[in-house]
């Protein structure tokens, strides 16, 4: 079987199994082994132990459960609420301030959790109800939840970035630094959109001046809100700073984050045994699902690479005789389509080892291409009608809100993300300036 026909067979099998509701990791690994057995015979099963060793014994990937655990401890202890209140207290009486606060804080919460689904669900559980109770427009409220929670994969520490670095043998620290400026640019554009939108259309935030419960805090209560918010944000800065300065590896910084989250919960008298157990169980659930997906996708990717798909893609792109930037755009379109049917983990694990070497051979920096991939995934999983993150948002939306309303709520923010992606493609220094400045 030629590699072209093999690729078609694999893609058709994936679509069929996903349509049947099969578990993603098992489906991908099972498809690879079944097709591999029919083409290679028993030798294909040697892929399993080698993939198992490279996947589950990777020191970098050990950071994933640590970051998820840190996020669960911070959110379940109520420190996420403290960040929200502190941000609201700083912004004060500005029309749309609650929505602006949601974008900033939910971005930080998303960064704590490190994956889109958990970021949106966590952000929504904290911020959606207060926005709707204060009379915010439903579309604006839902849109900023999606925008802020989804940004977790672009703001370090990001689990998909760790997976990209591990699968392409690149520096996690450089990836984190490369994403900082695009993330900052995205947040600034979203804040400007909310501020201008609420100024032009006051009905979108009609009760924005009624924030007395936060803005007019006095004395000890105001100090407590500021203390909790500052220390929780400082923890994220310490975790990221330990990686950038070289004090700790990404895995070690994850451990620092877990210890720091526990210490903050104790210091603020928020630590409870029930909270501790719930955080552990939730982390174990998320990690077990993630690791099965990583293993299955890695088996699938390794089999496809062994069969020569990288050479096929390289030959195909060479035969097109297109400028290098058009090849990069073609890769972006492929990943955008994949985002309609699969989540961020699988896109990274399938596309990073396949597309990155080709991008490098065309003369592009792998860190730049990796950040483009993360931006693309952020757009893909939120794009109507099938972006899977839309269904997370539907899960936390009030009863009676249909998918058409959700589509309309996320559209402006998707266009903002697309603008940032295009700017980073046209001006690579947006991505490369900071890692080159700090790490050479």
**Span 263-267, average pLDDT:** 86
Instruction: Check whether 146 has a pLDDT greater than 80.
Output: yes
Which of 37-51, 106-120, 207-221, 240-254 shows the lowest mean pLDDT across its residues? 207-221
The residue with greater pLDDT, 188 or 268, is 188
For residue 208, what pLDDT band results from cuts at 50, 70 and 90? very low
Q: What is the pLDDT of residue 388?
A: 63
Q: What is the pLDDT of residue 292?
A: 77
The answer to whether 152 and 107 are in contact (CB under 8 A) is yes
Instruction: Check whether 304 has a pLDDT greater than 80.
Output: no
CA separation, residue 3 to residues 48, 62, 242 (Å): 21, 34, 44
The residue with greater pLDDT, 314 or 267, is 267
Highest-scoring range by mean pLDDT, 92-106, 209-223, 279-293: 279-293
The answer to whether 119 and 109 are in contact (CB under 8 A) is yes
Residue whose tokens read 């939120």: 382
Q: What is the pLDDT of residue 117?
A: 62
The residue with greater pLDDT, 237 or 94, is 237
Instruction: Check whether 210 has a pLDDT greater than 50.
Output: no
For residue 371, what pLDDT band results from cuts at 50, 70 and 90? very high
Q: What is the pLDDT of residue 79?
A: 72
Residue 30: CB partners within 8 Å, gap ≥ 6? Answer: 17, 296
Burial (CB count within 10 angstroms: exposed 0-12, middle 13-18, buried 19+), residue 30: middle
The answer to whether 357 and 305 are in contact (CB under 8 A) is no
Q: What is the pLDDT of residue 432?
A: 93
Q: What is the pLDDT of residue 425?
A: 92
**Span 6-34, average pLDDT:** 78
How far is the C-alpha of 232 from the C-alpha of 270, rounded, in Å?
13
The residue with greater pLDDT, 216 or 27, is 27
Please write the tens of the pLDDT for every residue from 396-430. Answer: 677 777 777 888 888 899 999 999 999 999 999 99
Q: What is the pLDDT of residue 397?
A: 74
Q: Average model confidence (pLDDT) for the chain? A: 78
For residue 182, what pLDDT band results from cuts at 50, 70 and 90? very high
Q: What is the pLDDT of residue 185?
A: 93
How far is the C-alpha of 100 from the C-alpha of 19, rounded, in Å?
38
How far is the C-alpha of 35 from the C-alpha of 1, rounded, in Å?
10
Instruction: Check whether 365 has a pLDDT greater than 90.
Output: yes
Residue 32, both tokens: 């690879």
Please write the tens of the pLDDT for every residue from 65-81. Answer: 887 787 778 777 777 66
Q: What is the pLDDT of residue 416?
A: 93
């Amino acid at each position: 079987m030629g590699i072209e026909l093999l690729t078609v067979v694999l893609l058709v099998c994936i679509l069929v199994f996903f349509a049947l509701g099969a578990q993603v990791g098992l489906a991908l690994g099972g498809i690879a082994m079944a097709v591999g057995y029919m083409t290679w015979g028993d030798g294909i099963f040697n892929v399993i132990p080698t993939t198992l060793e490279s996947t589950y014994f990777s020191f970098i990937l050990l950071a994933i459960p640590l970051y998820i655990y840190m996020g669960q401890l911070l959110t379940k202890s109520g420190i996420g609420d403290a960040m929200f209140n502190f941000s609201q207290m700083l912004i004060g009486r500005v029309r749309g301030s609650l929505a602006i606060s949601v974008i900033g804080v939910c971005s930080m919460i998303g960064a704590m959790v490190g994956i889109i689904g958990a970021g949106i669900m966590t952000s929504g559980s904290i911020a959606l109800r207060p926005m709707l109770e204060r009379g915010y427009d439903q579309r604006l409220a839902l849109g900023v939840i999606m925008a802020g929670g989804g940004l977790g994969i672009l703001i370090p520490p990001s689990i998909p970035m760790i997976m990209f670095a591990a699968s392409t043998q690149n520096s996690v620290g450089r990836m984190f630094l490369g994403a900082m400026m695009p993330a900052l640019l995205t947040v600034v554009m979203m804040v400007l959109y909310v501020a201008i939108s609420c100024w032009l259309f006051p009905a979108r935030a009609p009760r924005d001046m009624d924030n007395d419960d936060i803005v007019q805090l006095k004395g000890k209560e105001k100090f407590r809100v500021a203390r909790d918010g500052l220390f929780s944000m400082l923890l994220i800065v310490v975790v990221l700073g330990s990686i950038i300065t070289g004090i700790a590896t990404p895995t070690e910084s994850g451990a620092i984050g877990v210890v720091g989250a526990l210490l903050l919960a104790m210091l603020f008298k928020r630590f409870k045994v029930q909270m501790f157990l719930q955080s552990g169980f939730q982390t174990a659930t998320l990690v077990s699902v993630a690791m099965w997906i990583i293993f299955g996708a890695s088996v699938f990717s390794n089999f496809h690479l062994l069969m020569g798909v990288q050479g096929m893609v390289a030959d195909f792109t060479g035969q097109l005789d297109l400028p290098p930037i058009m090849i990069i755009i073609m890769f972006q379109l492929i990943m955008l389509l994949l985002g309609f049917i699969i989540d961020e983990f699988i896109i990274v694990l399938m596309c990073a080892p396949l597309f990155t070497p080709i991008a490098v051979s065309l003369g592009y920096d792998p860190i730049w291409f990796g950040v483009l991939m993360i931006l693309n995934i952020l757009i893909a999983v939120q794009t109507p009608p099938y972006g899977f993150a839309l269904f997370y948002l539907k899960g936390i939306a009030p009863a009676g809100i249909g998918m058409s309303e959700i589509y309309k709520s996320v559209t402006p923010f998707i266009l903002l993300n697309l603008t940032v992606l295009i700017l980073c493609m046209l001006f690579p220094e947006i991505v490369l300036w900071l890692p080159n400045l700090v790490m050479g």
